[in-house]
Amino acid sequence: MNFASDDSKDRERTSREATEWFVRLQNPLASDDTRRAYRDWLMADPAHRDAIRDVSELWGALDQPAAELAATGWHRSADVAPRPRRWFATGSRLATAAVVLVALAGGLAVWRDPGLIDRAFADVATHPGERIEVSLADGTLAFLDGDTALKSRMDGERREVTMLRGRVWFDVTSDPARPFTVHAGRVETRVLGTAFEVNREAAAVTVERGEVAVSAVENQHGRVKLTAWQRVALQDGMLGAPVPVDPEQMFAWRRGLIILDRAPLSQVVEELDKMAPGRVLIADPELKRLTLSGAFRTDEPGAVLEALRSALGLRTVSVPGFATLIYR
């Protein structure tokens, strides 16, 4: 019997229930029956009190991001004009309130899942926690990590892929007459036939076999050639020198593993974002300089969070599927 798995499911269920109660109680019109039911739920299990405290702390920590989102004015519509007739005022206010609520819901959806829009415009995409292998029109294999989106164009003499976000490993079908090009933000990679990885967020390219040419979009004269087991990354708009990599560590994610070797907390957060839905936030930017080592399964983000707590003495609080806050 898997007691650890059952315990994890119980915690997730309790956290979801706490989130639901927290949201319901924010309504100033919540009935006495609702409040009595909440008190009964709260007293039923000591874990319920811990869960509601964690949810309250997390939502408190999200006040600043929410304020910044509202300050952009994205939810305001300049096209809405006041109704000239007073007897339509109530209906107008209700309609406006409905529009604002829908806009806020949409804004929160994008906030908790930044890849939502990219996936909507992609030819192939994965959600956080999902990894797939696909065959492109030219026969090239593409293995997509979690929270990844790409578009491809294969016509005439062109073989082009545009990575909108995420990490992809390509095994390119050789075709000397048609070079294969990957556009990934500020980095462009050009090959004929080889196997390599592109990480858009890290602006990095790693070669498994063959040879690729990597260039910085902002500096086309700075081109770097990579061979097997070499990696290059963009730094301050310039490509650094190729560095050797450990293949077992670098491509472990394709086997369902994440291997961290003194990885800064910022990199750990990037991996967590790929492993499960919801945003991962660091309360204090100074914490990003902390490092973590270890091997973890890509389908067990909770193990990474436990390592942060036990190895680095950090604290975490989560609302499953929405956000996780890391703090000291």
Q: What is the pLDDT of residues 227-257, one digit of tens each?
A: 999 999 998 888 999 999 998 888 999 999 9
Sequence-distant (6+) residues with CB within 8 A of 158 are 178
Question: What's the rounded mean pLDDT across residues 137-147?
Answer: 96
Residue 229 has a CB neighbour count (10 Å cut-off) of 17
Instruction: Give me the DSSP letters along 241-280.
Output: --EE--HHHHTGGGGTEEEEEEEEHHHHHHHHHHHSSSEE
pLDDT at 161: 97
Q: What is the pTM of this model?
A: 0.70
**Could you give the residue range(s) of every CATH 3.55.50.30 domain in the chain?**
256-327
CATH no., domain 121-247: 2.60.120.1440
pLDDT for the residue 36: 85
SS3 of residue 140 by DSSP: coil
Q: Is 308 exposed, middle or buried (0-12, 13-18, 19+ CB in 10 A)?
A: buried
Q: Report the half-sphere exposure of 49 (CA within 13 A, side-chain side).
A: 6
Is residue 104 predicted with pLDDT exceeding 60?
no
39 class by beta-carbon count within 10 Å (0-12 exposed, 13-18 middle, 19+ buried)? exposed
What kind of fold does domain 256-327 have according to CATH?
Answer: Phage tail protein beta-alpha-beta fold (3.55.50)
* Closest listed residue to residue 278, CA positions, set 157, 128, 165: 128
Question: How confident is the model over 251-300, as pLDDT tens digits?
Answer: 999 999 999 999 999 999 999 999 988 889 898 888 989 999 999 999 99
pLDDT 10s digits, 44-61: 988 888 888 777 766 665
The segment(s) of the chain belonging to CATH 2.60.120.1440 are 121-247
Residue pair 180/158 in contact by the 8 Å Cβ criterion: no
pLDDT digits (tens, 9 = 90+) for 180-219: 999 999 999 999 889 999 999 999 999 999 999 999 987 7
pLDDT of residue 199: 96
